[in-house]
Structure 1
């Protein structure tokens, strides 16, 4: 099945530095495998965001990014993945990063983002992640004790919102699912 058959008009836009292929995930509604080959940086991040925007607009909210062929991601590229989380979470979706190369994972770690993403080593684990029952909205997630992703100070949040770390002064955002993001 071609990319255009999965997401109409997907192959109308191309970029030589980043190749994106799509595969439907059988028996998982609204779930798609996005195979990345190349790199993501400041120059092609808009293309990357536009293409994933098309995928989400086509109704796919559970996104599995196969990163085995991704050999570089800049901080702008990581910002793109963060934007995708913000795009699909309110719709009940999520993203999984599959088979990240060590040098790419290192960038996620250095910027403090490795803990915000669901990172899996096999496609089977990635698909089963979307089968796990979601945390009930009635379950109280607050107060939440967490570690600042920048300085590792233990902090406590009583509700969702924007906070400033008392040590390093980094701005942190805690969403209603008690997930922490740099703000």
Structure 2
């Protein structure tokens, strides 16, 4: 099955620096795996964003990014992943990063984004994450203890909403699912 069979027109645009292969997950609604091969930087991030936006527009909101073949991601690329996470969260979806390379994970960590993403080591664990989500009652999420993405101070949120980090004064927001965002 080709990418165009899964999402018509997906391969209309290509970029040699980043190859994306799609694979549907049959037993989970709206779930798809994107095998990423190459790198994501300032020059090809627009290509990456357009391809993934097409996936989301086609109703795939449970996205597994298979990062085993992804050997570099710039801060612009991380920004793309964050935008996708926001886009799927508003549609009750989520993103799982799979087999992320240590040097790629380091960029997520340095920029303070590693805690926002679910990271799994096996495809079975990634698919299981989506089979389990949506079954957690609200009470299990809050109170939530997490680290400030800017200064790493441990913070506690008793409910969703906006508040300020007691250490660095950064404004943070927590949604109903317990995801932490800047702003």
Q: TM-score, normalised by structure 2?
A: 0.91
Q: How many residues align?
A: 183
CA distance in 2: counterparts of 1:135 and 1:158, whole angstroms = 20
Alpha-carbon shift at residue 137 of structure 1 (Å): 5.5
Structure 1 residues 161 and 43: alpha-carbon distance in aligned structure 2, compared to 1, 3 A threshold: farther
What CA deviation, in whole Å up to 9, does each residue of 1:126-151 have, x standing for no partner? 11111114254653744434321222
Structure 1 partner of 2:83 = 83
Distance 1:28 1:111, change over 3 A: same
- Structure 2: give runs of 5+ residues left out of the alignment: none
Structure 1: any 5+ residue segments left out of the alignment? none
1:131 is matched with which residue?
A: 131
Mapped to 1, the partners of 2:72 and 2:133 lie a distance apart of 33
Quote how far apart the aligned CAs of 1:110 are: 1.1
Q: Which residue in 2 is equivalent to 1:149?
A: 149
* Residue 63 (structure 2) pairs with residue 63 (structure 1): yes
Moved more, 168-177 or 19-28: 168-177
How many Å separate the matches in 2 of 1:81 and 1:40? 10
Residues 83, 102 of structure 1: CA spacing in aligned structure 2 closer, same or farther, 3 A cutoff? same
Cα distance in 1, alignment partners of residues 50 and 104 from structure 2 = 22
**Take 2:60 and 2:18, find their aligned partners in 1: how far apart are those partners?**
21
**What is the SS of the residue equivalent to 2:90?**
helix
Rounded to whole Å, the distance in 2 between the matches of 1:97 and 1:27 is 19
The CA distance in 2 between the partners of 1:99 and 1:136, in whole Å, is 25
